[in-house]
Amino acid sequence: MYSMIIVSDQDLKQRLSETCDDQPFIAKAPLVIVFLADLQRWYDYYHDLGVADFCIEREREFSGPDEAGLLLASCDALIAAQNAVISAEALGIGSCYIGDIMENYEIHKELLNLPPYVFPITMLCFGYYPEGERPKPRDRFDSKYIVSENKYQRLTEKDRKAMFAARAEGFNPNGTDSTERGRSMWARVKGRTENDLLRLPFKRAYMFRPGYIHPTKGLKRTNKYYRAISWLYPVVKHLIPNHTISMRELGIAMIHTVNKGYDKSILECKDIAKLANT
């Protein structure tokens, strides 16, 4: 219960790059495919076969697509998408899931001419890796935290702390690689940008690496993901205090770098917090 739309029109790619959280690389991807949970074709086929009339004649209820069908169709679409990812990877082609296709549904419904019983579950962007580069496998949680036998095993507080300990220790949300040779392309780009700025003949230059920025309460123009997870901020601040900062602290720290300066050119979260509170 799935179908796909290959997005070949460049204007449509550009529009999707804007409606899917302003991600310009979508418009530049050589291949873009939208995977759909598609109940419409089955519903139409039932009508073609006269199922509705059959139910009326026998005084039975003819029900249309429902939530259970949507969940099954979503599974089908995601299985198809992941098979496409694996097949592409085998050919040396990288991919990126775009979950934002589910948001702004009213807009995407019109852009993609989706009928009532079709929902866009995910979108994939495909492209070749830079020459000589392939991503390294990521570290995974120990299977004992993921796999249960026969019955679901709920993790204890001790289990959760142990599960996330190594991840929290190595977590670096600022994602900047000054060596320009790391695994993450985005981190390499940020590192190269910082290095280029520091080479310019400025009297002073400061590179801010704020990590997670907690938005100011009441701020309207805030990334929707930040709004969705803002309630977790106290927990995140407790787990990774050196990688979180408030927008207020960031702004004050920037002002202080101009007025007072700082003894480092690269400011991590702890430096930003220190400067904001001096």
Residues 152, 269, single domain; the answer is yes
CB 135 within 8 A of CB 207: no
Residue 135 lies in a domain: no
What value does the mean pLDDT of the chain take?
86
Beta bridge partners, 212, equal 244
| Confidence at residue 227, expressed as pLDDT on a 0 to 100 scale | 61
Do 72 and 91 touch, CB atoms closer than 8 A?
no
Partners of residue 34 on adjacent β-strands: 5, 123
Using 50, 70 and 90 to split pLDDT, how confident is the model at 124?
very high
CATH number for the domain including 52?
Answer: 3.40.109.10
On whether residue 137 sits in a domain, the answer given is: no
Q: How many CB atoms sit inside 10 A of residue 52's CB?
A: 12
Tens of pLDDT along 143-178? 999 999 999 999 999 998 888 876 665 555 556 767
Residues 152 and 122 in one domain: no
Please indicate, yes or no, whether residues 240 and 122 belong to a single structural domain of this protein.
no
Lowest pLDDT segment from 74-78, 104-108, 159-163, 169-173:
169-173
Structural domain range at position 92: 2-128
